[in-house]
Structure 1
Amino acid sequence: MSPIHTTNLSEETAQNKQLLRFHIRRMRQRFPASQKTLQGFTRAIENKVDSSSHLTIAAFLPLASEPPIKKALGQLIARGHTILVPRILPHHQLSWVRWTPGAATSTHALGIEEPLGEELTSAAFLEADLRLVPALAYDVTGRRLGQGGGYYDRLLEELDHRIRSRSTVGVAFEREILTKVPADHWDARLSYVLTESGVHRLGKAGCSEPVE
């Protein structure tokens, strides 16, 4: 493929991503999570996390329009697990801070709640026992559509594929598992996604099946 064609294809993919992001954000605003949805996410996360050992879990504090997992994270802490959530740094980088319910926080310009405290490097994410990765959508092959900043794509590139498959789980609403999302070659592909209905296995065969 010539450089001109490659450029055109990349531009088309970027435009398609922006259109899909707009559509999903609009849907999230129009259809906020119900109490039933919150309970579904809480149950799915509790079922996913092994209660027999104390784990370090890299997660995120959701915006109002995102999957409501904050209550579940608090319950995991009560069970003895450690929760790390991101702070946004310049140059599209993330640091990681230990979070507990009621901890002092600040609000980033993007509206993201960020706890105050010791900031850990990306190694904290990479070495966590479980990683919960937000997105606007996943497709049935595991491709991820993020918000567009590339924060998680950079991190996921550093994970060994087997570790990524075993202990890295996408988080999205059930309706956001799509047949296909526009993707570039560098976009992360995950093997599992957690929704209000449970955990689904994704794969190259192009199918999504519940595993819990």
Structure 2
Amino acid sequence: MSALEGLEVRRTTTAQQLADGLSERIMAGAFGPGDRLRESAIAAELGVARNTIREAVRILELTGLVRYEVNRGAVVIAPTREKVEALYTARERLESAAIVRAPRPEQLDAITAAFEDLERAAETGDASEIVDRDLAFHQAVVALLDSTRLDEFFAALTKELRFYLTVLSESETPQEVVAEHRLILDAIRLGDRDRAVAEIQAHVATSVERLNQLL
């Protein structure tokens, strides 16, 4: 008997699909910071079981987009300076550790391709696409660590980072986003590790400063 006999490959659950849909609407501003996600109302409007909505909201809680409050239930996160500092410190330390490693040719190709995708997205002016390509670039940088667990950790961070990058898209132009990433890529290509770390740190510091101004 095969060790895999009876194993079923299942499609994405309804709860995950709902979580993805709610996440997109939070990013789009349909739900603002502090807004309640009324499970019963959402279930009634979408025609799904309330337990399914509750499971979807729990998924969002794990991504950092919502939190539970006593007597209020699930609410969309309200960004604070403390949350921004904690999130971006974790990001900066992870990327700084990654970028000092010399990339293999295929890794450099992946980072370069991610940058080119970001450039193309910037030309369209599509904020959502720019955010996606921005995160993909940094995911390619983290991949220099050659650790699937750290790749997964950063991928989890991007759930919350996407929220903040969407906020940032209101205060920076696509050209500014591309320019900052080009500096990082140039340093990697030159093999200048000190400059690469400095560019990552400057990039993160600029993001934190802009977010704090918005907050």
Tell me the TM-score normalized by structure 1: 0.25
Query: Where is the helix percentage greater, Structure 1 or Structure 2?
Result: 2
Which structure has the larger Rg over C-alpha atoms? 2
More strand by share: 1
